[in-house]
Structures are given as structure tokens and as C-alpha cells.
Amino acid sequence: MGYIADTPHHCGSYERRPNGRCAHCHREAARRRREREKAATGKHSPKEWEEKAATYLACPLCNRPWSDCRPFPGSSKAFTKGHILALEDGGSNAIENLQPECMECNLGKPKKSPLSA
């Protein structure tokens, strides 16, 4: 699961997960994400999401067709919901701010400020 690093993490733990966080820091990041999702404005229905996702034949960020993208672990789909303007940058959960994204793009996209988007 995790691995032991040579130097302590900023929280003082020597344990690291593959993404570089210790288990405690990973849980804290997940908690903050859930809080942002709860506090976010805008809503959409599952039907709205399905209809919007069906209009995309490829990832809008890297233009790879879905057949060339790896599915998320535990999912049969090659895409997930991606926020055009991130929740932490003031984005919403409205359908207009969502797009399907491949795993590599969704997990690896750089943070953008609203002015540079």
C-alpha cells in the first residue's frame, strides 16, 4: 500500500503513499474535498450528466478517444466528471461547469486561476 521514505513528510510521518502523501494527509485532503463539494453551488441530475457525457467522443483536454483511455479503478467507464473551473477555485457543480475527462487529464491537470482559464 504505502512505502517508507528516507526523510519525514511535512507532517512528520515517514510513511508515504505512491502519490507522496502519508495516510493522514491523504484523509485530510479527502475531507477537504468533500467539504468543497458540499459547499459548492449548482446542481445537476444524473440524467443531465449522462446526456452531456454522451456528446463527447474523446477527452476534451487531450483529444484521445475513450477507447484509448484507461478506465478509473473500479469503473468500467474511461471518463469521470471533471470540473472546468475547479471547486477550490470557485467553480460550481452546475452541468455547465462539468465535462467528461480521462483519468490522466482529470488527476494530472494543473491548477488554473479563473483569469487564465
How far apart CA 96 and CA 41 sit, in angstroms, is 12
CATH C-level class of 43-117: mainly alpha
DSSP string, 69-116: SPPPTT-S-S-EEEESS-GGGT---SGGGEEEE-HHHHHHPPP--TTT
Helix/strand number for the chain, H first, E second: 3, 4
Looking at the predicted structure, is the pLDDT value of residue 4 above 50? no
Burial tier of 117 (Cβ tally within 10 Å: 0-12, 13-18, 19+): exposed
User: Where in the chain is CATH 1.10.30?
Assistant: 43-117
In the predicted model, what is the mean pLDDT of the chain?
80
The reported pLDDT for the residue numbered 46 is 92
Quick: pLDDT tens for 88-98: 888 899 999 99
**pLDDT of residue 16 exceeding 50:** yes
Give the pLDDT confidence of 17-63 residue by residue, as tens digits.
555 667 777 788 889 888 888 888 888 999 999 999 999 999 999 99
Residue type, 75: S
